[in-house]
């Protein structure tokens, strides 16, 4: 199911990137679609190779996250970079997502079971920085009222990279502040975000939602027994 979902996201990304301007008359749409495909493929391959070389197994979940990381990373620069640069951006993202997942899981101790911080946060930041590095100066004249085509550091203009870094830092500060505010408000309303230890052990399907997400699972009978006999779980339900 996870890999099927990954392929659905990969397909949807063509609409997300290539169709985001709602103007198919711009022939740059072909470059955008190609770069999107290349970066996603490169991310999955580098993630698989890294996991195989490091741990001896080509972890399918990391392969999926590598593909998504490549797609996230190419979203910002997809219209402004060459095909080889798209492969490089996606390939870096495929390894970066693995490093980031293990860092947040083992060092920061944040429970992020699907690696969302690493896929979307870390590689989103890498993507906007990559635009400032690899934009080749062939497209984007007049965008956002700025004269001149979008040109990155490796093509002779450091200004775009500076703008990208400023944008990334601003995003982190603004979204981070709003997140803390919203987290604090919802925490006061719900009297805390964490469920009881019993509900954690049981899983949140029954205590929080009142039904099983996977009724055919082999643990069904034990889950029902735990739900009916655990005082903390009954209270959470």
15-64 confidence digits (pLDDT tens): 888 887 666 677 788 899 999 999 999 999 999 999 999 999 989 999 99
Q: Can you tell me the distance from the alpha carbon of 76 to that of 120, in angstroms, rounded to the nearest whole number?
A: 12
Q: Kindly tell me if the per-residue pLDDT of 118 is higher than 50.
A: yes
Helix, strand or coil for residue 138? coil
∠ CA 162-83-44, nearest 5°, is: 95
Res 212: pLDDT: 78
Query: What integer best gives the mean pLDDT of the chain?
Result: 87
Express each pLDDT in 172-224 by its tens digit.
Answer: 999 999 999 999 999 999 888 888 888 888 788 888 888 877 777 655 555 55
Mean pLDDT of 65-84: 96
Torsion 73-77-78-84 (CA) sign: negative
Helix, strand or coil for residue 137? coil
Mean pLDDT of 65-71: 96
Res 190: pLDDT: 86
């Amino acid at each position: 199911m996870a890999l099927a979902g990954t392929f659905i996201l990969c397909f949807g990304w063509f609409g997300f990137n290539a169709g985001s301007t709602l103007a198919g008359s711009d022939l740059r749409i072909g470059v955008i679609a190609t770069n999107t495909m290349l970066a996603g493929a490169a991310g999955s391959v580098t993630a698989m190779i890294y996991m195989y070389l490091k741990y001896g197994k080509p972890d399918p979940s990391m392969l999926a996250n590598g593909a998504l990381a490549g797609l996230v990373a190419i979203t910002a620069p997809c219209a402004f970079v060459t095909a080889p640069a798209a492969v490089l951006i996606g390939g870096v993202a495929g390894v970066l997502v693995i490093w980031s997942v293990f860092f947040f899981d083992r060092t920061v101790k944040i429970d992020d079971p699907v690696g969302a911080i690493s896929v979307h946060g870390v590689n989103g930041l890498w993507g906007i920085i990559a635009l400032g590095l690899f934009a080749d100066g062939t497209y984007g004249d007049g965008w956002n009222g700025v004269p001149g085509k979008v040109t990155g550091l490796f093509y002779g203009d450091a200004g775009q990279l500076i703008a990208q870094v400023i944008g990334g830092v601003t995003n982190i500060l603004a979204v981070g502040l709003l997140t803390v505010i919203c987290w604090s408000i919802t925490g006061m309303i719900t009297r805390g975000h964490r469920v009881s230890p019993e509900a954690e052990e049981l899983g949140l399907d029954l205590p929080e939602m009142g039904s099983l997400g996977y009724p055919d699972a082999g643990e069904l009978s034990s889950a029902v027994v735990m739900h009916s006999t655990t005082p903390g779980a009954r209270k959470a339900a």
